[in-house]
């Protein structure tokens, strides 16, 4: 069961290393556009329990609420290709009283070339009524501990692509 631990260090970013599978690619040997979502969501689903000790289903059961996706914003920068090893990073980019934005991005294996950036916006809703509800208690503390909480109000995904590309070149 989910319990927020205020003494625990919660990393802000998750990272996975995966290979691009043949069955997920188009005839040009590029990862199919729709498959990026699978790679991103699977990577985060694998990493969150390891890094944070959180099983989403347990959290949903305990608080009788869940995050529901209402927007995706994706930018395809460079194709991922069949057989290529890539890195997938994700982070809670921003949150407020009832909404979160999770950022996913994919790079080549050396983390020098940006391939794709995805922002997924989700609303926190009650299970029973399906109505928006506020993040409270341990959920709010968890969001504070794991979020970058960047001010994205005036930022576009195009701006973020530039920023991430720049960071990758610097490192």
List Cα–Cα distances, 19 to 68, 80, 91, in angstroms: 28, 10, 21
- Tell the burial category of 93 from Cβ atoms under 10 Å away from its Cβ (0-12, 13-18, 19+): buried
Q: Quick one: which H or E segment has residue 60?
A: helix 56-63
pLDDT in tens, 89-140: 999 999 999 999 999 999 999 999 999 999 999 999 999 999 999 998 899 9
pTM (2 d.p.):
0.94
Q: What is the per-residue pLDDT across 20-59, written as a single tens digit (0 to 9) for each?
A: 999 999 999 999 999 999 999 999 999 999 999 888 888 8
Query: Where are the chain's structural domains?
Result: 13-170
Burial class (CB in 10 A: 0-12, 13-18, 19+), 65: buried
Angstrom distance (rounded) from CA 61 to CA 136: 15
Topology of domain 13-170, per CATH?
Answer: Thiol Ester Dehydrase; Chain A (3.10.129)
- Using left for φ > 0, alpha for ψ between -120 and 50, and beta otherwise, residue 68 falls in beta
């Amino acid at each position: 069961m989910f319990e927020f631990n205020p003494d625990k260090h919660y990393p802000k970013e998750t990272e996975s290393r995966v290979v691009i599978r043949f069955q997920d690619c188009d005839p040009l040997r590029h990862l199919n556009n729709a498959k990026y979502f699978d790679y991103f969501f699977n990577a985060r689903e694998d990493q969150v329990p390891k890094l944070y000790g959180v099983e989403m289903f347990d959290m949903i059961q305990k608080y009788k609420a869940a995050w529901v996706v209402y927007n995706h914003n994706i930018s395809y920068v460079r194709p991922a290709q069949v057989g290529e090893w890539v890195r997938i990073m994700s982070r809670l980019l921003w949150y407020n009283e009832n909404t979160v934005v999770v950022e996913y991005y994919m790079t080549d294996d050396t983390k020098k070339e940006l391939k794709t950036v995805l922002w997924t916006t989700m609303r926190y809703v009650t299970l029973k009524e399906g109505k928006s509800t506020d993040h409270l208690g341990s959920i709010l503390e968890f969001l504070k501990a794991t979020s970058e909480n960047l001010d994205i109000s005036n930022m576009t995904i195009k701006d973020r692509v530039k920023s991430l590309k720049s960071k990758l070149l610097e490192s």
